[in-house]
Amino acid sequence: MFEARLGQATILKKILDAIKDLLNEATFDCSDSGIQLQAMDNSHVSLVSLTLRSDGFDKFRCDRNLSMGMNLGSMAKILKCANNEDNVTMKAQDNADTVTIMFESANQEKVSDYEMKLMNLDQEHLGIPETDFSCVVRMPAMEFARICRDLAQFSESVVICCTKEGVKFSASGDVGTANIKLAQTGSVDKEEEAVIIEMQEPVTLTFACRYLNAFTKATPLSTQVQLSMCADVPLVVEYAIKDLGHIRYYLAPKIEDNET
């Protein structure tokens, strides 16, 4: 049997919002260490990886490993039925063809349970090798979302250039060009506003802006985002989910000579 309980439905709502535009369906793999989800987007260009650790839940029980295939659109609809501060419990039997999602208001005056049919999804679990990245940039998640949104107006491609002086985002198109430079933050009054760059080797890579924008749907989950880059390796955009886990998006760089 599987049972997982979170104190506030809002975190689960945000997680669903972060993945449902990229994925229509996905498999939640449940084990005693937590819940993992890994799937390529519908056009097989980017990869999403979600990890929720068991110790981040108010209550977590998983006697036997379980895979639950879900329609994420339906799941998001069900989560809309919850108030943000309701606590939420997910339950499934060992050979389940449904999952139950229960919302309880404070004082349990309103208790709602929804049973959602599960799907049989064939999905390979890709092993993602640990990579020593040449550059790791941590920056405010809202700033990254804004940069991706702003640069999308100029081009469908964005170039990210990382050196020891800072990180530069560029786009060039019919309208003109845009360059946004972020310097490494010196003294940090507010940790969440810091821009921190760890660089072993400069990197310049080009990415499809559409996917970066889709990744920034995870902005509500975290104040900071981490970009990890290495030549010839997919970019990793990572949002920590406080006390619970993280969501990572992988996007291969475009294969073309940079004209910037």
Partner 1 sequence: MLEARLSQTLLLKKIVDALKEIIAQGTLDCSENGLELQSMDNSHVSLVALSLASDCFEKFHCDRNVSLGLDLKSLGKVLKCANSDDAVTIKAVDRPEKITLSFESDGKERTADYELKLLNLDQDHMEIPKKDYTCFIQLPSSEFARICRDMSMFDESLTIACSSKGIRFLAKGDLGTANIQLSAGTAMDVSIEVQEPVTQSFAGRYLNTFTKATPLADRVKLYLSDERPLLVEYPIEDYGHIRYYLAPKVNDPDF
DSSP secondary structure string for all residues of 59-105? EEEESS-EEEEEEHHHHHHHHHTS-TTSEEEEEE-TT-SEEEEEEE-
Please say whether the beta carbons of 64 and 94 come within 8 A. Answer: yes
Identity of residue 191: E
Q: Which stretch binds partner 1 (CB under 8 A): 31-39, 100-108, 186-194, 203-211?
A: 100-108
Which of 25, 114, 208, 210 is close enough to bind partner 1 by CB under 8 A? 114
Run of H or E including 147 = helix 141-152
Query: Could you give the 3-state DSSP secondary structure of residue 108?
Result: helix
Query: How many other CB atoms are found less than 10 A from the CB of residue 251?
Result: 20
CA distance 56 to 34: 9
Which of 111, 128, 183, 231 is close enough to bind partner 1 by CB under 8 A? 111
Report the residue number, 70 or 237, with the smaller CB distance to partner 1: 70
CA distance 183 to 22: 31
Q: Which stretch binds partner 1 (CB under 8 A): 9-17, 107-115, 181-189, 231-239?
A: 107-115
Question: Scanning residues 59 to 98, which ones bind partner 1 (CB under 8 A)?
Answer: 74, 77-78, 80-81, 98
Least separation in angstroms between residue 41's CB and partner 1 is 23
Least separation in angstroms between residue 37's CB and partner 1 is 19
Which of 32, 113, 156, 243 is close enough to bind partner 1 by CB under 8 A? 113
Least separation in angstroms between residue 258's CB and partner 1 is 47
Least separation in angstroms between residue 119's CB and partner 1 is 12
Report the residue number, 3 or 143, with the smaller CB distance to partner 1: 3
Which of 117, 125, 164, 242 is close enough to bind partner 1 by CB under 8 A? 117
Give just the sign of the alpha carbon dihedral 217, 222, 223, 225.
negative
Q: Which stretch binds partner 1 (CB under 8 A): 20-28, 101-109, 161-169, 250-258?
A: 101-109
Q: Does 106 bind partner 1 (CB under 8 A)?
A: yes
Q: In what order do the strands lie in the sheet with 196-199?
A: 66-71, 25-31, 34-40, 46-53, 245-251, 235-241, 224-229, 135-140, 196-199
Largest CA distance in the chain: 62
Q: Which stretch binds partner 1 (CB under 8 A): 29-37, 86-94, 113-121, 228-236?
A: 113-121
Q: Interface residues with partner 1 (CB under 8 A)?
A: 74, 77-78, 80-81, 98, 105-117
